[in-house]
Amino acid sequence: MTEQKLSDPPPPGLGPREPTAPVAPVAPVAPRPGAVVALRPLGVHEARLDPGGLLGRWQRRNAEDTIPHCVDNLHAHGNIANLRAAAGESGDAFAGMWFADSDVHKTLEGAAWELASSPGDASLRSFVDDTTTLLARAQGPDGYLNSYFTVAAPDERWRRPEWSHELYCAGHLVQAAVAAARTGVSPDLAAVARRFADLLVERFGPGGAEEVCGHPEIETALAELYRLTGHRPYLDLARRFLDLRGRGLLGPGRFGPAYYQDHVPVREAAEVTGHAVRQLYLLAGMVDVGVETGDHTLLDAAERLWEDAVHRRTYVTGAHGSRHRDEAYGDPYELPPDRAYAETCAAIASFQWNWRLLLATGRARYADEMERALYNAVAVAVSLDGRRFFYSNPLQSRTGHTGSGEEAQARRLPWYSCACCPPNIARLMASLHGYLATAAGDGLQIHLYAAGSVTAEVAGSAVRVDVRTEYPWQGRIELTVTSEADTPWTLALRVPDWCDAYAVRIGGGPVTAPARDGYVRLTRVWAPGTTVVLDLEMPVRRVTAHPRVDAVRGCVALARGPLVYCLEQADLPPGTVLEDVRLDPAVPVEAGRREDLPDFPVVLTAGGRLAEPGASLYADAPARERHSAPLTLTAVPYFLWGNRSEGPMRVWIPVAATG
């Protein structure tokens, strides 16, 4: 097959390509100049995580363990062999899910972001180079690239949009290519992706097939490819897919058109529906297209749906999706903890959607939601060794739970038959430092607190901020500001919505700095080496749910800072049944360290009681539940549960009746 370059002409009928745009910021999301955004992202080269901090350790673990683990499993489970068969280099039968290519693409994206930070990783570079050339060999003469439909079902190509995931896989290929191009890791992957994208424009563009994909993802990918290249047909096609959705083109399917978000036009939707990951990827694409085209109706719809999702259908951990049957959102306030599906990919998609809304609006609530999802719903999916994963993330695992294999909820697994989550984690963690901060015309904004550093151009001058902190274990954030600017600029520091009290010091002296719209804004001419200390108070919070969340009525969740905590069987006396534990409201909950739990830097100690249930399944309502003698309870961070042993766990704790 003749190799095609980025400068080659597009397929017939598309017209000349626009010149490639100036290189966009080296960032996962990079709105073009002129896009309707309040904030500009920094590139991954402009931020650094200290490997001694929590986020830095996660990123190092991702590089040393999770990404290599993903690469090994792509080989072991046939994903790479599928591409060799598609290239005509073997006669092997197709293995795995029909969308198995997407796991290759997500791992490639993670590898590209990691190589931007660790360019000397020869093994990872070999994986990127070898896989890129393999993809080029597997690509058809017309640009089509999907190993399942090439090897196993060539007659089904483009015939089952509600099921095929063809555009979904194409979207992840495009996102991998954008990452590889922006980091300079592999411009050849962009050539492969553009050949496929040009085919999509030819087939689905104006005058072409009126179809949408059953699994949204292509919309945000095409918007990002436009941002990379400046080629307007990619953005126009993303918008066309959004305009076509909601006309019932996908048919009813097994779960109805709302499962695909194809029941109502996206600009008219009043509530989030259907498969949670699909809904969230669609929303991310709506924001991307909205800011690039100036279409405020898309942005308004995305913010309206955020209100519905976050205020009526999101778990206290930031997880989305309450139904196993269709991996979907439930009714308003339908949030059962033990039956939570809460897919890892949905948490990652929520993080990505909220980042786009933050860039578009500058509103702190989106950074708050990113933080909640990251420290709880995303972090819980990865084991301490970085090589075992949760697919779904319940908020309770019952005593006697009988799930086995991939249905087990009390232990992480090394891989899954549908392995979408591990490589999704890999790509997010590899690019995590790109989400710490932004710049705007008047200054620098810090959204996620982590030990490390941020550099940017502010007010025409170079600025550097070094951060020292033990966040999220402690609320003290120490910043050292170095600036060459001789004019004032603003350093904005987010005050999380969970924080009711804080203090600010500059150069050792206290300052009055009221938070406005979720940020403390400090404006001055910054002398080199100026120190700023933000102290966020982190009391233990007893969180209650809206009274319409029937499943947890009479319960509380314990939280401190951004972290949600849980009870684990491992911390209960032998023979104790977790479901019989009650929280004693009269005993204060205290935060501290336990030397015997080194992997749990801060645990909570609370008072508890054991209920004494009767033998009957049902009985006349007693006047008051009977309890045993007092019990000391230890609550651990939810994201760390399941690393010591298998066993029951719960986030929502029933409260013992008093009086």
- Model pLDDT for residues 566-595, shown as the tens digit of each residue: 999 999 999 999 999 999 999 999 999 988
pLDDT of residue 65: 98
Longest dimension (CA), the chain: 81
Q: How far apart are the first and last CA of the chain?
A: 80
- Please give the average per-residue pLDDT across 118-132, as a whole number: 96
Task: Pick 613 or 328 by higher pLDDT.
Answer: 328
Higher pLDDT, 187 or 621: 187
Residues 540-550: what's their mean pLDDT? 98
Catalytic residue among 162, 202, 292, 327: 327
d(CA 429, CA 28): 11
3-state secondary structure 324-379: CCCCECCCCCCCCCCCCCCCHHHHHHHHHHHHHHHHHHCCHHHHHHHHHHHHHHHH
Tens digit of pLDDT for each residue in 61-87? 999 999 999 999 999 999 999 999 999
State the Cα–Cα distance between residues 499 and 385, nearest whole angstrom: 32
Closest CA to 607 of 634, 625, 567, 580: 634
Q: What is the 3-state secondary structure (H, E, C) of 10-71?
A: CCCCCCCCCCCCCCCCCCCCCCCCCCCCCCEECCCCCEEECCCCHHHHHHHHHHHHHHHHHH
| Mean pLDDT of all residues belonging to the chain | 93
Query: Amino acid identity, residue 55?
Result: L
DSSP string, 278-333: HHHHHHHHHHHHHHHHT-HHHHHHHHHHHHHHHHHSB-TTS-B--BTTTTB--STT
Domains and CATH numbers, the chain: 40-394+411-435 (1.50.10), 437-536 (2.60.40.1180), 542-654 (no CATH)
For residues 452-466, one letter each, b for 16 or more C-beta atoms within 10 angstroms of the residue's C-beta and e for the rest, the string is bbbbbebbeeebbbb
Confidence of residue 23 (pLDDT cuts 50, 70, 90): very low
pLDDT at 405: 60
* Rounded-to-integer distance, Cα 512 and Cα 419, Å: 50
Q: How far apart are CA 556 and CA 240, in angstroms?
A: 45
Crossing angle between the packed helical segments 79-86 and 122-138, to the nearest 10 degrees: 40
Query: If you search the block for the tokens 């009714």, which residue do you land on?
Result: 331
Question: Per the residue annotation, which of 169, 213, 345, 420 is the catalytic one?
Answer: 420
pLDDT, residue 5, reads 35
Q: Residue 2: is its pLDDT beyond 50?
A: no
Band of the pLDDT at 21, cuts 50, 70, 90? Answer: very low
| Percentage of the chain lying above the pLDDT 90 cut | 87
pLDDT at 20 over 70: no
327 is catalytic: yes
User: 3-class DSSP state for residue 191?
Assistant: helix
The number of C-alpha atoms within 13 Å of 377 and in the hemisphere containing its C-beta is 26
pLDDT tens, position by position, 341-387: 999 999 999 999 999 999 999 999 999 999 999 999 999 999 999 99
Cβ atoms within 10 Å of 169's Cβ, excluding its own: 28
Query: Sorting pLDDT into bands at 50, 70 and 90, what band is 614?
Result: confident
Q: Is the pLDDT of residue 622 over 90?
A: no
CB 147 within 8 A of CB 140: no
Does position 13 have pLDDT exceeding 90, yes or no? no
Position 22 confidence tier, pLDDT thresholds 50, 70, 90: very low
pTM: 0.95
Q: Is the pLDDT of residue 7 over 50?
A: no
Instruction: Give dist(CA 263, CA 249) in Å, integer.
Output: 9
CB crowding 63-87: b at 16 or more within 10 Å, else e: bebbbbbbbebbeebbbbbbbbbbb
The residue that leads in pLDDT, 441 or 221, is 221
Residue 408 is predicted with a pLDDT of 61
Closest CA to 651 of 332, 350, 403, 393: 393
Torsion angle of C-alpha atoms 445, 451, 452, 456, degrees rounded to 10: 10
Q: What are phi and psi of 483, to 5 degrees?
A: -140, 140
> Which amino acid would we find at residue 151?
V
DSSP type of residue 105 = H
What pairs with residue 241 in β-bridges?
Answer: none
User: What is the mean predicted confidence (pLDDT) over 157-173?
Assistant: 97
- Residue carrying structure tokens 């959004």: 242
292 band by pLDDT with thresholds 50, 70 and 90: very high
Q: What is the mean pLDDT of the segment spanning 464-473?
A: 98
Residues listed for the chain: 659
70 is catalytic: no
- The angle at the Cα of 498, spanning 492 to 504, to the nearest 5 degrees, equals 40
| pLDDT per residue as tens digits for the range 408-464 | 666 899 999 999 999 999 999 999 999 999 999 889 999 999 999 999 999 888 999
Helices 232-244 and 187-204: crossing angle, nearest 10°?
50
Alpha-carbon gap, residue 311 to 314, rounded angstroms: 7
The pLDDT confidence band at residue 15, using thresholds 50, 70 and 90, is very low
| Encoded amino acid at 320, one letter | H
What is the mean predicted confidence (pLDDT) over 537-564? Answer: 98
